Copies of this chain bind each other. A is one copy, B any other.
Amino acid sequence: MTADDRSLPLRERKRLRTRRTIADIALRLFTERGFDATTVEELVDEAEVSRSTFFRAFATKEAAAVEAENELWAAYLEELAGHRPPGTTPGDTALSDMAPGDTALGDTAPGDTVLAELCDTLARAAGVLPPDWDHRYILTRRLILTTPALLGHVEYQRTGVEKQVVACLAEKLGLDSDDLRLRILAELATTAWSVAARDWVRDDGAGGRRALTDRLRNAFAAIPDALNLSPRAS
């Protein structure tokens, strides 16, 4: 799945490597000069690939800019479907500096709510991502804040993810894919992530992944409070 994995065929490795190169350079240029002020022409010139190659790797200019975001949601869906690479215990990557008494991420006790499971799934997804993801994600989110076109793109991306989450949950729980409640849950999960990530990025990613997942759990914990919020006596 990652960049240069010896088990993959050479063709695939090359394809993924150019994809990564393009995404990295795109993020750098967009951050330096601004998204709108940078043309695809300039980008492919810097990356030393042709325009054709660019549009084969990414459907749109926007998609190249938010590749880090894309990786996150891909990991989320993977974790939700339970597609762990063989020989991997849930959530072991990049978290070996855990204090001994801590309970492992991603082990939801039976009897818990679906919402709690989604929280764990997101935390696990965050744990699975490569070490350089933090930096790229922070830059990406900063870029999105100042670029309407990118905000539009990630919001669109988000609805796609939520749709897949609903479908996955519907199958797991034996419910209808139109069930109101599933849609609400899927949306609450991404909202909680969004809020947690916003604050984490604002603090420059201080505290690393652990801080991010802590914020995530706080955000999920705030949901019942939100429902009971009343005009009088805030």
Residues of A within 8 A of B (CB): 110-115, 117, 148, 151-153, 155-156, 158-159, 172-175, 178, 180-185, 187-188, 191-192, 194-195, 199, 218-219, 222-232, 234
Rounded to whole angstroms, the CA-CA distance of A115 and B184 in the bound complex is 14
Which residue of the partner chain B has the closest CB to A198? Answer: B178
Which residue of the partner chain B has the closest CB to A229? Answer: B114
Residues in B whose Cβ lies below 8 Å from that of A183: 191, 194-195
Residues in B whose Cβ lies below 8 Å from that of A112: 230-231
Given contacts A113-B227, A151-B156, 15 further A-B contacts (CB under 8 A): A111-B232, A112-B230, A113-B228, A115-B227, A117-B231, A152-B152, A173-B229, A175-B234, A180-B218, A180-B226, A182-B226, A184-B188, A187-B188, A188-B227, A227-B227
Rounded to whole angstroms, the CA-CA distance of A158 and B155 in the bound complex is 9
Pairwise interchain contact A231-B172, C-beta atoms closer than 8 A: yes
Residues in B whose Cβ lies below 8 Å from that of A182: 226
Q: How many copies does the complex hold?
A: 2
Residues in B whose Cβ lies below 8 Å from that of A194: 183
Pairwise interchain contact B156-A226, C-beta atoms closer than 8 A: no
Residues in B whose Cβ lies below 8 Å from that of A181: 222, 225-226, 229
Chain B proximity of A50: nearest CB distance (Å): 26
